[in-house]
Copies of this chain bind each other. A is one copy, B any other.
Amino acid sequence: MLTKTPHLFDDATRVVAGDSRWQGGTSPDYWAFVGPFGGFTAATILRALIEHPQRAGDPLAITVNYCAPIAEGEFDLDVRLVKANRSSRHWSVELSQGSADVAALATAVFAERRPSWSHQTTAMPDARPFASIPPYTKVAVPWVKQYDFRFLDGDPNFYAAGKDAPYSAYSRLWIGDRVPRKIDMLSLVSMSDAFFARIFHARRELVPFGTVTLTTYFHIGSDDLANEGITHVLGCADARVFNRSYHDQSGELWSPSGRLIATTTQMGYFKA
């Protein structure tokens, strides 16, 4: 059932409009280890752009560079429309707290999604229905508890480091909000960062990790996404290179109808 009252996610990612300067704040519900969950930060930034009076079109791409930990409390979003074209808008956003340096630096492209030739080159991976899989409940980190993860492949096992490493870095899972919420661009960008760090899978242990940069592309218009009327997506994530303290991650988010609606890549720091 969809909630009628404001969803925790909407409450957490709320922003207050200033002029070019907007305000938001961290939420204990979307807290990670040393700062907010990166997907929360990306969603809050995207919300400021979606709610911006000069917004036109739909989110097409967003890149968030995580420059420094965000402390508990309020933050400012310095939102700038860098270039407005006939059918696209380019944005830059800097997140800061008080007089401190920039903690997150983001760029985004919005675009009018006009009709065109359409083609999807790949089919959705096999997936048993969401309802047939028990939710994953083994991690007590606040942000993780806001999600309903149902693993089809790559079920986390973070306390089994051993001589057989490296293990597979691949995961396939359904992702929904713990309290179901209709998926929109905001939850989509948040879910694009909701995969556990690939290093945890590849080594089957928890090591210090932090996302350094995240890029997410949207392959669907917001009207079409609303028409999908979904509360969970199939997420697939993998990594290709772990080297000299950084590794990549690439991910796909699929609508249960079989549409690839978002793709994402990131680089993260790890200590191992």
Contact = CB atoms under 8 A, between A and B. Distances in A.
A227 interface: no
Contacts of A213: 60-61, 63, 107, 109
A90 B107 contact: no
Interface in A138-161: none
A244 B221 contact: yes
A268 to B, nearest CB: 10
A56 interface: no
A241 B260 contact: yes
Contacts of A215: 63, 215, 265
B263 A121 contact: no
Given A217-B267, A265-B265, A111 B240 contact: no
Interface in A195-249: 202-203, 212-213, 215, 217, 219-221, 224, 238-246, 248
Q: How large is the interface on A (under 10, 10 to 19, 20 to 34, 35 or more residues)?
A: 35 or more
Contact of A240 (B90, B118, B120, B221): B120
A219 B248 contact: yes
Q: How many copies does the complex hold?
A: 2
Contacts of A112: 245
Contact of A245 (B83, B113, B212): B113
B61 A90 contact: no
Interface string A162-181: 00001011000000000000
A contact patch SS: strand
B220 A117 contact: no
B90 A102 contact: yes
Contacts of A269: 88, 111
Interface of A: 60-61, 63, 65, 67-68, 82-83, 85, 88, 90, 92, 94, 101-103, 105, 107, 109, 111-122, 166, 168-169, 202-203, 212-213, 215, 217, 219-221, 224, 238-246, 248, 250, 252, 260, 263, 265, 267, 269-272
9 contacts: A61-B65, A109-B212, A116-B272, A117-B272, A119-B202, A121-B240, A219-B246, A220-B243, A250-B263
Given A113-B243, A121-B238, A241-B263, 14 more contacts: A63-B213, A68-B85, A82-B105, A92-B92, A113-B245, A116-B242, A116-B244, A119-B243, A120-B243, A121-B168, A217-B265, A219-B246, A240-B260, A250-B265
